[in-house]
Amino acid sequence: MAEPLLQVKNLSVSFQQDTVVDAIDFDIYGGETFALVGESGSGKSITALSVLRLLPNNANIQADSIALNGQNLLTIPEIEFCRWRGRRIGLIFQDPMSSLNPVMTIGAQIAEVIRLHFSLKPADIERRVLELLQQVEIPNPQRRMREYPHQLSGGQRQRVMIAIALAGRPELLIADEPTTALDVTIQAQVLALLKKIQQQTGMALWLISHDLALVSNMADRIAVMEKGVLVETATRAEFFKQPKHPYSRKLLAALPEMRHCQDKTAMPSAPLLQVNDFKVWYPIRKGLFKRVVDHVRAVDGVSFSLQQGKTLALVGESGCGKTTLGKALLNLVPASGGQVWFDGIDLGQLSGEALRKKRAEIQMIFQDPFAAMNPRMLIADIIAEGLKALRPEINAEQRRQKVLQLLKQVELPASSAMRYPHEFSGGQRQRICIARALAVNPKLIICDEPTSALDVSVQAQILQLLKDLQQRQRLSYLFITHDLAVVGEIADEVAVMYQGKIVEMGPAKQVLMAPQHPYTQKLLKAVPVLAAV
Amino acid sequence: MIVLWTDGLIFILVLAIAVSITLMLRKPHFKRPLAKITQSKTGMVSLVVLLCFAGIGLLDSVHYKDSKTQDIISLLDHFARPLTERSEKTYSAPFSAYLYSKEMIIGEDGLEKWDYPRLKYGGAHLNNPEQEKWPDILSKAATGFGKGVVLALLLYLIFWMICGRKLAESFRPATKAALLTLFLVISLFYMLAYLSHWYHVLGTDKVGEDVFYQTLKSIRTGLVIGTLTTLMMLPLAIGFGIMAGFFRGWVDDVIQFVYTTLNSIPGVLLIAASILMVQVYMANHAEQFTSVLVRADMRLLFLCLILGVTSWTGLCRMLRAETLKLREMEFVQAAESLGVTRPTILIRHILPNVMHIVLISVVLDFSSLVLAEAVLSYINIGVDPTTYSWGNMINGARLEMARDPVVWWSLSAAFLFMFTLVLAANLFADTVRNAFDPRRAEHG
Three-state SS across A202-216? CCEEEEEECCHHHHH
**Mean of pLDDT values over B70-89:** 83
Does the beta-carbon distance from A385 to B336 stay under 8 Å?
no
Do B138 and B284 lie in one domain? The reply is: no
- Of the candidates A366, A385, A420, which has its C-beta nearest B340's C-beta? A385
Contacts of B243 (CB under 8 A, 6+ apart): B251, B255, B346
Does the beta-carbon distance from B335 to A385 stay under 8 Å?
yes
Do B309 and B191 lie in one domain? The reply is: no
Please answer whether residues A110 and A163 qualify as being in contact, where contact means their C-beta atoms are separated by less than 8 angstroms. yes
Q: What single-letter DSSP state applies at residue A235?
A: E
Do B178 and B266 lie in one domain? The reply is: no
Distance of alpha carbon B107 from alpha carbon A446, whole angstroms: 99
Does B336 have pLDDT greater than 80? yes
Please answer whether residues B62 and B1 qualify as being in contact, where contact means their C-beta atoms are separated by less than 8 angstroms. yes
B139, B163, B197 - which closes a domain: B197
Do B217 and B189 lie in one domain? The reply is: no
Contacts of A493 (CB under 8 A, 6+ apart): A266, A306, A310, A311, A312, A313, A505, A506, A507, A508
Q: What single-letter DSSP state applies at residue A287?
A: T
- B28 vs A: CB within 8 A: yes
- pLDDT at residue B443, as a whole number: 45
Do B187 and B273 lie in one domain? The reply is: no
Q: Say if B108 falls within a structural domain.
A: no
Please answer whether residues B339 and B386 qualify as being in contact, where contact means their C-beta atoms are separated by less than 8 angstroms. no
> Which tens digits make up the pLDDT trace of A382-423?
999 888 888 888 888 899 999 999 999 898 998 888 888 888
Q: Which residues pair with A207 in a beta bridge?
A: A35, A175
Please answer whether residues A145 and A104 qualify as being in contact, where contact means their C-beta atoms are separated by less than 8 angstroms. no
- pLDDT at residue B244, as a whole number: 94
Distance of alpha carbon A424 from alpha carbon A431, whole angstroms: 10
Contacts of A154 (CB under 8 A, 6+ apart): A96, A97, A181, A182, A183, A186, A318
Find the range with the poorest average confidence among A178-187, B27-36, B77-86, B182-191.
B27-36
**Percentage of residues in chain B having pLDDT higher than 90:** 16
Burial of A523 (0-12, 13-18, 19+ CB in 10 A): buried
- Tell me the one-letter amino acid at B300: L
Per residue of chain A (533 residues), what is the pLDDT tens digit? 578 889 998 899 888 778 888 888 999 998 899 999 888 878 888 898 888 888 888 888 888 888 888 888 888 888 888 888 888 898 888 777 788 888 999 999 999 999 988 888 999 999 999 999 998 888 888 888 888 988 888 888 888 999 999 898 899 999 988 887 788 888 888 888 888 989 888 899 999 988 888 888 888 999 999 888 888 898 888 888 888 888 888 888 888 777 777 655 556 667 888 888 888 888 887 777 777 778 888 888 889 988 888 899 999 888 788 888 988 888 888 888 888 888 888 887 877 788 888 888 899 898 888 888 888 888 999 999 888 888 888 888 899 999 999 999 898 998 888 888 888 888 889 999 999 999 988 999 999 888 887 888 888 889 999 999 998 888 999 999 888 888 888 888 899 998 888 999 888 888 888 888 999 888 888 887 776 55
Whether the CA torsion B184, B185, B188, B190 is positive or negative: it is negative
More confident residue, B69 or A310: A310
Neighbours of A333 (CB within 10 A): 18
Distance of alpha carbon A204 from alpha carbon A224, whole angstroms: 18
More confident residue, A163 or B160: A163
Q: Say if B22 falls within a structural domain.
A: no
> Which tens digits make up the pLDDT trace of B242-276?
999 999 889 999 999 999 999 898 888 888 888 88
Q: Say if B19 falls within a structural domain.
A: no
Q: Which residues pair with B126 in a beta bridge?
A: none
Range of the domain at B132: 127-197
Find the range with the poorest average confidence among A43-47, A85-89, B79-83, B221-225.
B79-83
Burial of B43 (0-12, 13-18, 19+ CB in 10 A): buried
Omega within 30 of 0 (cis) for the link into B405 = yes
Q: Chain B residues with CB inside 8 Å of A376's CB?
A: 352-353, 437-438
B174, B197, B220 - which closes a domain: B197
- B329 vs A: CB within 8 A: yes
CATH number at residue B261: 1.10.3720.10
CA distance A393 to chain B (A): 15
> Which tens digits make up the pLDDT trace of A261-315?
765 555 666 788 888 888 888 888 777 777 777 888 888 888 998 888 889 999 9
**Mean of pLDDT values over B33-37:** 81
CA distance B326 to chain A (A): 10
Q: Say if B388 falls within a structural domain.
A: yes
Do B161 and B274 lie in one domain? The reply is: no
- pLDDT at residue B176, as a whole number: 80
Q: Provide the H-helix boundaries in B92-172.
A: 129-169
Distance of alpha carbon A307 from alpha carbon A409, whole angstroms: 24
Q: Say if B45 falls within a structural domain.
A: no
Q: Say if B332 falls within a structural domain.
A: yes
Does the beta-carbon distance from B339 to A376 stay under 8 Å?
no
Q: Provide the H-helix boundaries in A375-507.
A: 379-390, 396-409, 426-438, 456-473, 484-490
Do B169 and B225 lie in one domain? The reply is: no
Do B220 and B186 lie in one domain? The reply is: no
Do B343 and B245 lie in one domain? The reply is: yes
- Would strands A493-498 and A311-315 be described as parallel, antiparallel, or unpaired? parallel
CA distance B434 to chain A (A): 12
Please answer whether residues B98 and B118 qualify as being in contact, where contact means their C-beta atoms are separated by less than 8 angstroms. yes
Whether the CA torsion A305, A311, A315, A321 is positive or negative: it is positive
Does the beta-carbon distance from B338 to A440 stay under 8 Å?
yes
Q: What single-letter DSSP state applies at residue B118?
A: B
Do B180 and B225 lie in one domain? The reply is: no
Closest alpha carbon to A169 in A210, A127, A132, A206:
A132
Please answer whether residues A20 and A228 qualify as being in contact, where contact means their C-beta atoms are separated by less than 8 angstroms. yes
Burial of A529 (0-12, 13-18, 19+ CB in 10 A): middle
Q: Say if B215 falls within a structural domain.
A: yes
Do B325 and B385 lie in one domain? The reply is: yes
Q: Provide the H-helix boundaries in A202-317.
A: 212-218, 236-241, 246-254
- pLDDT at residue A262, as a whole number: 66
Closest alpha carbon to B95 in B182, B184, B191:
B191
Phi-psi region for residue A45, left (φ > 0), alpha (ψ -120 to 50) or beta?
Answer: alpha
Q: Provide the H-helix boundaries in B170-198.
A: 173-195
Per CB distance under 8 Å, which residues of A are interface residues toward B? 327, 330-332, 356-357, 359-360, 362-364, 366-368, 371-378, 385-386, 388-390, 418, 420-422, 433, 436, 439-440
Q: Say if B294 falls within a structural domain.
A: yes
Number of structural domains found in chain B: 2
B149, B167, B197 - which closes a domain: B197
Do B263 and B300 lie in one domain? The reply is: yes
Distance of alpha carbon B388 from alpha carbon B377, whole angstroms: 11
- B353 vs A: CB within 8 A: yes
